[in-house]
């Protein structure tokens, strides 16, 4: 365990103000280790870091800004965190997980494979600026979660890393490395802005993911306008399943669902989707992933709408057909035109 500041053995450390710098490989800025020996889902020993109004800068590879593992507890307020190395998320967790709460501040990552947030834990962030200049904005691995409230998340993912065959802003996956238990992954965002400059906005592979969006301003600057892809990627051993729950939410673009994958789309509380769902998928490496759409279920409540932008094939539809604007196209449900 290498870090500029290392907290462990059940202690509680409070840091206020100041500057923390690290320039070595594997040297996290502030490392909270909860002592559970890397047992995913295991309780920690109570080790807690409370840090506020501090500037943290790391330049080496494997050097997160604030790092939590082994069931540790990190509470961060109004930090300015900048990382530039590979595999150096600004808000970082690893095997054994823990609980991370962030309120306020700016968290910027600049390296390859370095999202603003990497979650193998339960992470809650409010009122923060999250910026990734080369990698995903956030990654969730396995049975873990990220919840954002009134945040601005901006990502410009321009270079694939490791096994990844896609570029995306929010990646939800299971690597099967043992760093995270398998199970349901969860991403929730309420308010704020999600700005995706390159690639797919959401990408789900090799896990079961729940995506909850409420009143988020989604800006998709990529020319492909892919809002979501659920399909095979560079990992295997589990299914590709996503449930998207939109509340008071505007969505636009293409949702891609591979032939071996599953999507449930729920629109409620005056939500809208302008777009189509397709199974024609080519990854960023140029490989054909799928040519047929997988299992897709769409549920609209009476206040929500779907405007088609192409002929679309889904497995099931629940709702009032008057909530669908065909826009000159045809929706096929289980092979029959609706």
Q: What is the pLDDT of residues 172-230, one digit of tens each?
A: 998 766 666 677 899 999 999 999 999 999 999 999 999 999 999 999 999 999 999 99
Determine the structural domain holding residue 313 and report its residue range: 3-337
Alpha-carbon span 16 to 24, nearest angstrom: 24
For 271-303, write each residue's pLDDT tens digit: 999 999 999 999 998 999 999 999 999 999 999
Question: How much is the mean pLDDT over the chain?
Answer: 95
Domains in the chain, number: 1
Q: Which residues of 254-272 are buried (b: 16+ CB within 10 A; e: fewer)?
A: bbbbbebbbbbbbbbeebb
Closest alpha carbon to 137 in 117, 160, 110: 117
Specify the length of the chain in residues.
338
Closest alpha carbon to 252 in 222, 281, 291, 280: 222
Mean pLDDT of 154-166: 93
Please list, in sequence order, all residues whose beta carbon lies within 8 angstroms of the beta carbon of residue 175, skipping any fewer than 6 positions away. Answer: 141, 142, 163, 206, 235
Task: Give SS3 for 322.
Answer: helix
Q: What is the structure's pLDDT at 177?
A: 67
Alpha-carbon span 136 to 296, nearest angstrom: 26
Structure tokens at 212: 């909850």
Alpha-carbon span 32 to 190, nearest angstrom: 27
Q: How confident is the model at residue 1 (pLDDT cuts 50, 70, 90)?
A: low
């Amino acid at each position: 365990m290498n870090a500029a500041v290392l907290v462990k053995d059940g202690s509680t450390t409070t840091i206020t103000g100041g500057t923390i710098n690290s320039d070595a490989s594997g040297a996290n800025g502030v490392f909270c280790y909860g002592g559970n020996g890397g047992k995913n889902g295991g309780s920690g020993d109570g080790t807690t870091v409370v840090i506020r109004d501090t500037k943290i800068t790391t330049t080496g590879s494997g050097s997160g800004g604030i790092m939590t593992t082994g069931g540790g507890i990190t509470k961060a307020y109004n930090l300015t965190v900048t990382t530039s190395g590979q595999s150096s998320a600004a808000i970082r967790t690893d095997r054994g997980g823990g609980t991370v709460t962030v309120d306020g501040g700016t968290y910027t990552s600049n390296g390859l494979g370095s999202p603003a947030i990497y979650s193998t834990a339960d992470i809650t962030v409010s009122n923060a600026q999250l910026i990734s200049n080369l990698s995903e904005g956030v990654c969730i691995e396995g049975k873990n979660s990220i919840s954002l409230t009134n945040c601005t998340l901006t990502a410009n993912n321009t270079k694939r890393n490791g096994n990844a065959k896609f570029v995306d802003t929010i990646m939800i996956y299971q690597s099967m490395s043992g760093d995270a238990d398998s199970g349901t992954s969860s991403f929730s965002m309420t308010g704020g802005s999600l700005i995706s400059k390159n690639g797919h906005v959401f990408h789900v592979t090799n896990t079961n993911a729940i995506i909850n969006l409420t009143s988020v301003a989604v800006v998709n600057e990529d020319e492909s306008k892919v809002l979501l892809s659920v399909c095979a990627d560079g990992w295997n051993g589990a299914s590709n399943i996503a449930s998207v729950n939109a509340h008071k939410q505007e969505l636009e673009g293409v949702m891609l669902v591979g032939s071996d994958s599953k999507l449930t789309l729920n629109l409620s509380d005056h939500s809208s989707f302008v777009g189509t769902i397709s199974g024609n998928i080519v990854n960023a490496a140029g490989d054909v992933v799928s040519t047929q759409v997988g299992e897709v279920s769409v549920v609209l409540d009476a206040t929500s709408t779907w405007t088609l932008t192409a002929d679309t094939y889904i497995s099931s539809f629940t709702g009032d057909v008057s909530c669908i604007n065909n826009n000159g196209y045809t929706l096929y449900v289980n092979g029959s035109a609706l």
